[in-house]
Amino acid sequence: MTSRKKYRILISGGGTGGHIFPALSIANALRRRLDVEILFVGAENRMEMEKVPAAGYEIIGLPVAGFDRHNLLKNFSVLLKLRRSLTKARKIVADFKPDIAIGVGGYCSGPTLKAAQRAGVPTLLQEQNSYAGVTNKLLAAKARSICVAYEGMERFFPAEKIVMTGNPVRSILTEPHSVKGARESFGLNPARDTVLVVGGSLGALTLNESMEAGVKRLAESGIQVIWQTGKNFGDRALKAAKGLKGVVVTPFIADMASAYAAASLVVSRAGAGSISELELLGKPCILVPSPNVAEDHQTKNARALSDVGAAVLIPDSEARTRLVDEIQTLLAEPEKCRDMARNIRRLAREHSDELIADEVQKILESKS
């Protein structure tokens, strides 16, 4: 059903692609079905300030930053930034006058959604992880709806507000791609097993150092590698891969759809966005959770998969000694990889962006 009223929608969140891409997917779904004006609120100097305008949306940045758990003295400046962000968020809400505010996680969603709630604006939260973040737990009491991707989230939120939607992913990733064409696009042999190692836009030091030590062994065993290093490890990776056949080293992968299609096996951190992509694509995977995230939520995300045979979990502290051996073992057992692929695909939720848009529309139309 399409509404004729023009709605003003505030969307806040970011910091990583795992927050930004779902936010853009939700915005696109809403724009397809409603007459809307959408304003994003992000964190200054974070990647959303580039990605959101590139997708055709306006964004305003807040001077917010995350708490430093290792150096408490640094948090004085963080508190000052939070205070300034709350003031700016109140002005944004007062000026934009949104009909609803949507929070997708990240530093900026707390001040923005809190300002919206104080102004009487209905709010919807999207919790991407299996272990709820502090910000969403604090905002939950006054939220109208909380969209989640994992069972058992009533541990954190009022059960009557929870809606199981899954996490939205980039639609281009699920378009059909041939394995042959995908591998050839990276200059690889289409007949050989290929492992994709991804650590996000900044890279993951543990994954990079594990590959630095073992990429030669993988190449010599006939396994091809697509190694996404992030921007800070490129020279070391190129040196480690020098002269090796079937190894592609790149700081950034523009065509992730082809990279996934080329992969027999994926090695990744365990952010909620990455896991949702792997579930929809049915990719066998090794997950190495980052230890540097709040509430160790990546380990909890990964365990939700490993407990049902949908992934292999390797703790960050063990990756340098175990990762390459595990890659070789799994690719030598194709039936196990097929079982993992079937198990992870069963966890996927289709059309998450539309399910979340359904909830947004219900809230909007209940106001009309």
DSSP per position, 265-296: EEEE---HHHHHHHHHHT--EEE---SSSGGG
Taking residues 284-291, report their average pLDDT.
96
Q: Is the same domain home to 361 and 308?
A: no
Q: Is 209 inside any structural domain?
A: yes
Write down the pLDDT at residue 69.
60
Given a cut of 60, is residue 3 above it in pLDDT?
A: no
Q: Is the same domain home to 144 and 283?
A: no
Taking residues 339-366, report their average pLDDT.
95
Write down the pLDDT at residue 71.
64
Q: Is the same domain home to 206 and 306?
A: yes
Q: Is the same domain home to 163 and 197?
A: no
Q: Identify which of 9, 7, 42 has the alpha carbon closest to the alpha carbon of residue 26.
A: 9
Q: Is 292 inside any structural domain?
A: yes
Q: Is the same domain home to 97 and 184?
A: no
Q: Is the same domain home to 154 and 186?
A: no
Q: Is the pLDDT higher at 305 or at 72?
A: 305
pLDDT band at 12 (very low <50, low <70, confident <90, very high): very high
How far CA 61 is from CA of 44, 47, 50, 221, 350, in Å, comes to 5, 11, 11, 48, 31
Contact 203, 228 (CB under 8 A): yes
Q: Is 1 inside any structural domain?
A: no
Q: Is 32 inside any structural domain?
A: yes
Q: Is the same domain home to 10 and 153?
A: yes
For residues 62 and 242, what is the distance between their CA atoms, to the nearest angstrom?
Answer: 43
Write down the pLDDT at residue 212.
97
Q: Is the same domain home to 12 and 103?
A: yes
Return the CA Rg of the chain: 21
Q: Is the same domain home to 363 and 253?
A: no
Taking residues 69-81, report their average pLDDT.
71
How far CA 325 is from CA of 22, 70, 221, 322, in Å, comes to 34, 33, 11, 6
Write down the pLDDT at residue 275.
93
Please write the tens of the pLDDT for every residue from 176-224: 889 999 999 999 999 999 999 998 767 799 999 999 999 999 999 999 9
Element (H, E) at 112: helix 109-118
Q: Is 112 inside any structural domain?
A: yes
Q: What is the CATH number of the domain that holds 127?
A: 3.40.50.2000
Write down the pLDDT at residue 67.
61
Domain count, the chain: 2
How far CA 136 is from CA of 23, 166, 182, in Å, comes to 15, 16, 39
pLDDT band at 320 (very low <50, low <70, confident <90, very high): very high
Write down the pLDDT at residue 46.
82
Taking residues 228-244, report their average pLDDT.
93
For residues 92 and 84, what is the distance between their CA atoms, to the nearest angstrom?
Answer: 12
Write down the pLDDT at residue 2.
47
* Domain span including residue 259: 172-346
Q: Is the same domain home to 246 and 300?
A: yes
Contact 285, 263 (CB under 8 A): no
Share of the chain above pLDDT 90, in %: 74
Given a cut of 70, is residue 293 above it in pLDDT?
A: yes
Given a cut of 50, is residue 359 above it in pLDDT?
A: yes
**Where are any strands of DSSP class E within 49-166?**
58-62, 100-103, 123-127, 145-148, 162-164
For the whole prediction, is pTM greater than 0.75? yes
Mean pLDDT taken over the chain = 92
How far CA 55 is from CA of 61, 208, 263, 335, in Å, comes to 16, 30, 27, 41
Write down the pLDDT at residue 336.
96
Strand order in the sheet with 285-287: 247-250, 224-228, 194-198, 265-268, 285-287, 312-313
Q: Which residue has the tokens 């709350």?
A: 86
Q: Is the same domain home to 144 and 117?
A: yes
Q: Is the same domain home to 135 and 250?
A: no
Q: Is 62 inside any structural domain?
A: yes
Nearest-5° Cα angle at 57, 54 to 61: 90
Write down the pLDDT at residue 1.
44
